[in-house]
Amino acid sequence: MITFSVTDKMQLTYPIFYIMFIIMVASCVFQVKFLNQATKLYNTTTVVPVNHIFFTTSAITAGIIFYQEFLGAAFLTVFIYLFGCFLSFLGVFLVTRNREKEHLQQSYIDLGNIPGKQMLDKIQPDSNSLSYGTLPDGSDSTKSQSGEKKEV
């Protein structure tokens, strides 16, 4: 679109330009947010190579599908292109292969931070509890404070 705007037709007059621009900005924002969350769980030596490989693979796939990059290309051209991508991925693997395995300090999904989720303090009694249907103060869990039976 930029090339067309500079050489021939101004692309700002077409609505597809604005749709693509909004999609591009939203994609950048979500990718930064995703990478920020990933670096909280994993080390950057894990996050950055994985992001590089997935981004490169998706860009290649999008180019093949949408722009038909390999349509009419010779086999050698396609092979050299894909071999270059393979060398890039191999370089990422070689750079990151000798790092030590890390163990997560927290669970992958923190159930305490789900918006709108109500946390019930203790659904199951402690293993040292003698009776199953009582609260820690000894009262029956099916009775309300006024003494009426509640449906559970």
User: pLDDT, tens digit, for every residue of 17-44?
Assistant: 899 889 999 999 998 998 888 888 888 8
Name residue, tokens 């670096």: 39
- How does DSSP classify residue 70? T
The three state secondary structure string of 22-52 is HHHHHHHHHHHHHHHHHHHHCCHHHHHHHHH
Nearest residue to 53 (alpha-carbon basis) of 95, 3, 90, 103: 90
User: pLDDT, tens digit, for every residue of 107-144?
Assistant: 555 555 555 555 555 555 555 555 555 555 555 545 54
Q: Give the pLDDT score at 108.
A: 54
